[in-house]
Amino acid sequence: MSSFNTDIAIIGGGGAGLRAAIAAAEENPELSVLLISKVYPVRSHTVSAEGGIAGVMSEDDSHEKHCFDTIRGSDYLADQDAVEFFVNEAPKEIIQLEHWGCPWSREENGDVAVRAFGGMSTKRTVYAADKTGFYMLHSLFERSLKYPNIKRLDEYFVTKLVTDFDSTGGETNNEKRAEAMPSEKHTEAENISAKTPRVIGCIAMNLQTGELVSISAKTTILATGGAGKVYSFTTNALIKTGDGMALAYKAGAELKDMEFVQFHPTGLPRTGILITEGARGEGGYLLNNLGERFMERYLPNKMELGPRDIISRSIMSEIKAGRGFSGPYGEYVHLDIRHLGEEKINEKLPLVREMSLDFAGVDPINEPIPVMPVVHYSMGGVATNVNAKSSLKGLFAAGETACVSINGANRLGSNSLAECLVFGARAGLECAKECKSSKLIHVSARELADEENRIAELLQRTGSKTVATVKTKLQEIMQKHAGIERDHEGLVIGLNQILSLKRELKNIELGDKAKLFNTELTGYLELENMFVIAEAILRSALDRKESRGSHTRSDFTERNDEEFLHHTHVLQDQKATMSLSRKPVTITKWKPQPRVY
C-alpha cells in the first residue's frame, strides 16, 4: 500500500506512544489509531529505563511535596500548572499500570515498594527491581494488543510531517496550497487564516522495502523520545536522534528550552551505559581516589541523593581537583554498593550487577563501579501545553520529545516515566476529542512524489564524505562545546563548526544503494535531524547568559531571575533560519527562591 488513512497517527512506539494509543482507543473504540515506529515497540528506549517511576504513593508523602521537589529541582523553570497536573495524575497511572500487569516490587507487608531518588524529599519512586522500563513497556505493549482499532506500522521511518492551511471556509486540499496562500485578492483576515498551518499526516519509509507511503490523519502525536545521540558519550540508544523534535521544527512548530541537556552522574566509562540512580537510592556511595564520600563537600544534607545536575558538577569538580581515577576511557570516580550485601544487590539491583560485570569487568559485590557523568535526557523538546498540544494545529507531543515543561532546567530522576504515561494519556484523549470535529485531509500524491524524488536523489548523490564521519564529528563538537560547563567562546566555536559541518551533508555519498533495510540511508535522514537539534541547543545556550539547572555557564555563574526566568522558544522563520524568542514561566504558588538542599 502506498497510502494509509487514520484518525490518529502516533509516531513513536515507546511508553508515551503506547499510552497515547491505549487512551485514544479506550476513549472511542470507533476511532482508527495508527502506531508508527522505526523499531518494534518493545525495542523502544523506554525499555532501558531502570530505576523507577515517581508518584505519591506512601502515607508520608503528599502532592504538595512532589510539586515542590519537582519545581525546586527544575531550578524554578518548570511551568507550575503543568507540574500540579502531572503530580495529581501520576499515582493514577501507576495504579492503572499495575492493573494491566506491571509487577511492581513490594514491601514485606504487600504495599508497592518505594525507594529514594535524587532531589526527592521522601521515598517516592516506585520500581520493579532495576528493570522498571522493561516491565512497563511490555505491560503497555501487551495491553495495546487488546484493541482492534490500534494498528501498527513497525519499522517505518517518518521522513516528513505534511501540513496544509486552514482557511475561513474550512480546510483546503493541500494540492491547492498555492491558491490558499495570501495574494492581493485576499482580505487581511483571510491572509492570516490562510497562513495557519495544520498537520494533516506524514510520509514514512517502510524500512523492509524502502517504499515510501503517505499517511493521512486528522491528528498526529509525536512520541519519538529524546536526542542524546547528538553527543558522543550518552546513555541513549542509537535510535534517539531527535527525529520528532526535528520533524516538528521543520513543519513549523516551536521547540522549547533546548539548551537544557541533562548529564546523569553515573555512566560506565567507554560505553556510557547507565548505572541507575536506584543504586544510590538503595544506599550506594560515591567515592574519590582518597576513599572520601566527597558529596559531603557539596551537598552535606543530601549526599548522593542530590539532583543530577549538582552531582554531575560535583564529580567533575573532584576530577578537576585531581581526586578522580584515570583509565583508558577517561577520568572517573567510584560508585560503591559493596556494603549493601550480595542478597540486596541481587534482589534490587540485579541489572546493575550484570552490566558492571559485562561492560566494566567488575563485580559490585566485591569492588566499586567506575562511573562518570554522561548525557542522558533532553529537558527541551516540542513546545506543548498541559493538553499535549503543540503550536501547530493537529500536532501533539508527549514524553521526552515534548516540553510541557514539568522539567524546567533539570529533571528529577523517575519523573520521566510518569511523564510518558501522564502526557501520553492526555495526548490520546485530546486527539480523540479533536477527531470529532476534524476533517480528514488527504496527503496529496504530489507530496509523496516530492519525497520519493528527494530520497532517490540522496541515493544517487556522489561525494567524498560518509554518514559515519560527519556524524562522529558532530557528536565530538557537541561533547566538547555544549557539555556540563559552557562559555560564550566555546558555544560560538561550536555553533560555527556545526553550521560549517552541516554544509557537508551535500557531500555525503551513500555506499549502500539498495532499498532493503538501508541503514545508511536511515542514518543520513537521522543525521539531518541531529543537525537541527545541535543548532537549537547551541543557539539557545548562547542566548541564556546565566547558570540554571543543567545549563552551567562558567562566564555567568549565577542564576539570574530578573533577565532569564523565561523559556527559550526556537522557530524556523520565513527565511528558513532558526529564530529565538522568550516566553514567561507559569508561576502559580511557588515563588522562585535560592535552590538549596
For residue range 83-97, what is the model confidence (pLDDT) as tens digits?
Answer: 999 999 999 999 999
User: What is the distance between the alpha carbons of residues 156 and 8, in angstroms, rounded to a whole number?
Assistant: 16
In-domain check, residue 507: yes
Same domain, 369 and 271: yes
Alpha-helix runs per DSSP H in 30-159: 63-73, 80-99, 132-144
Query: Comparing C-alpha atoms, which of 237, 333, 337, 344 is closest to residue 291?
Result: 333
Strands (E), 380-534: 381-383, 395-397, 402-403, 485-486
> Could you report the per-residue pLDDT of 252-296, keeping only the tens digit for each?
999 999 999 999 999 999 999 999 999 999 999 999 999 999 999
Q: Which of 143, 264, 426, 567 is catalytic?
A: 264
**Annotated active-site residue in 43, 280, 376, 411:** 280
The answer to whether residue 454 is catalytic is no
Mind listing the pLDDT tens digit for each residue in 199-241? 999 999 999 999 999 999 999 999 999 999 999 999 999 999 9
- Domain boundary residue among 545, 560, 575? 560
| 146 is a domain residue | no
* Phi and psi angles of residue 316, each rounded to the nearest 5 degrees, phi first: -65, -35
- Given 353, 374, 395, the domain boundary residue is 374
Q: Report DSSP letters for 169-200, one per residue.
A: TEEPPGGGHHHHS--TTS-HHHHHHHT-EEEE
Structurally, the chain folds into a number of domains equal to: 2
pLDDT at 166: 57
Which of 321, 350, 374 delimits the end of a domain?
374
- The pLDDT tens digits for 396-440 are 999 999 999 999 999 999 999 999 999 999 999 999 999 999 999
Q: How is residue 389 written as a grid cell? A: 498540544
Domain CATH for 494 = 1.20.58.100
> Domain range holding 471?
462-560
In a domain, 329, yes or no: yes
Q: Does 94 map to a domain?
A: no
The band of 510, judged by pLDDT with boundaries at 50, 70 and 90, is very high
Residue 76 has what pLDDT? 98
- pLDDT attached to residue 175: 40
CB contact at 8 A, 549 and 408: yes
pTM of the model: 0.93
Q: Which residues contact 471 (CB under 8 A, 6 or more apart)?
A: 523, 527, 530
Asked, for residue 555, whether it belongs to a domain, the answer is yes
Give yes or no for a contact between 225 and 14, defined as CB atoms under 8 angstroms apart: yes
**359 lies in a domain?**
yes
Cα pseudo-dihedral 193, 196, 200, 206, rounded to 10: 150
Cβ pair 535, 578 in contact under 8 A = yes
Question: Torsions phi, psi of 191, nearest 5?
Answer: -60, -45
Average pLDDT over residues 365-373: 97
Contact (CB, 8 A) for 58 and 122: yes
User: Stretch 569-576: mean pLDDT, rounded?
Assistant: 90
In the annotation, is 280 catalytic? yes
Q: Would 499 be classed as within a structural domain?
A: yes
Position 390 pLDDT exceeds 50: yes
Within-domain flag for 520: yes
Q: Which residues are registered as beta bridge partners of 397? A: 222
Look at residue 169 and tell me whether its pLDDT is greater than 50: no
Asked if pLDDT for residue 189 goes beyond 80, the answer is no
Report residue 271 as a C-alpha cell: 560505553
Q: Which amino acid is at 51?
A: G
Q: How far apart are CA 344 and CA 304, in angstroms?
A: 19
- Res. 179: pLDDT tops 50: no
